[in-house]
Amino acid sequence: MNIFTKLVATSVMSTLIATGATAQGTLPEKPDRFGNRPITVIVPYGAGGGSDQLSRAMTKAMEEETDLSFQIVNKPGGGGTAAIPDFMIAPADGHTIMQHIDTAIAAYAKGDIRENPSEDWIPLCTTQITFSQIYIRPDEDRFTDWDSFQAYAKANPGTVTMGLLGIVGSMELVTMRQLSEALDLDLRQVTFDKPAETYGSLIGSQVDVLFEQPGDVRSFLDAGQMKPILTIFDERPEVFSEVPTHREVGADFDALTRFRGFYVKKGTPADRVDYLEAVCAVAFDNPGYAKFNQSKFMDLIDSYRDSEGSKALIDKTVESYTSIYKEIGLIE
């Protein structure tokens, strides 16, 4: 059994279950001289994207629950890596936070960055975890569900196009390789640099299907411009109860998830780390943030991880990516 039918013995899914934490925190006393100026949150993606929306919703909740103030700085580029130098040269005083997604873990496993997100950075919390889906246009007449899509793709190998946002080794590309190998599909992948371009490629009929997370295309789902035909997750979420999972269609692999969290630099004083971790917990339970998460389908998985839970999630994900990258020859 190769890596595409079974990743590692302890799967990321097991970690999702085992390291879940209820936020429900209380705030300790704020450290002396901390928060006397705005806290900068570096977002490694452009304004309006999923990471930007998350950061703004979370910092708004943090401000409502404390007397802290935050400023968002968008630093897109390099598949999320362009922001890392700015973060690494900032003082380790807790006044600079970086929001990042699982692409940082993938980049570390592949050797694109030197910093281990669970050791060289301090994870404060993870506040969103989600799964991926494959979408078609509702008016598509060549196929209307996964079975008919799979039949069409096998009858037309190498011609069916899939739009996705990703760089070499990203979660999107790795997952599609797993799916294609497990089901013997020959799909032509078309990658884009920006979310808007990716989504527009499906709506504008530039590609046949789209790979994305439901929260990031919620507006298109609500507008009836996209239709999910496959959920890449171990079980059917109730809201997508009519959509089969990858395991149900015969792809027996442990699905990687998309997760977003917040970090401070290693060396940040422990009392400031503890305080910011507690701020994350109360902000996660803030009604406004809870409503935001629900609007993005981010309440379908237990999405909160404290610092230790985030480290465990990161470490298991690094193991998974490392195993995959070795199998496909990206690393030795």
The residue count for the chain: 332
Domain 12-130+257-328's class? Answer: alpha beta
Please, are residues 311 and 317 in contact by the beta-carbon 8 Å criterion? no
Q: What is the pLDDT of residue 205?
A: 96
Residue 295 CA, distance from chain mean position? 16
pTM score of the predicted model: 0.83
Same fold across 12-130+257-328 and 132-240: yes
Q: Phi/psi zone of residue 25: left (φ > 0), alpha (ψ -120 to 50 degrees), beta?
A: beta
pLDDT in tens, 180-221: 999 999 999 998 877 788 899 999 999 999 999 999 899 999
298 sits in which H/E element: none
The CATH code for residues 132-240 is 3.40.190.10
E strand segments, the chain: 39-43, 70-74, 96-101, 121-130, 132-136, 161-165, 188-192, 209-212, 227-232, 258-265
| Sequential DSSP letters for 183-196 | HT---EEEEESSHH
pLDDT in tens, 240-289: 999 999 999 999 988 888 899 999 999 999 999 999 999 999 999 999 99
Domain ranges of the chain: 12-130+257-328, 132-240
276 sits in which H/E element: helix 270-284
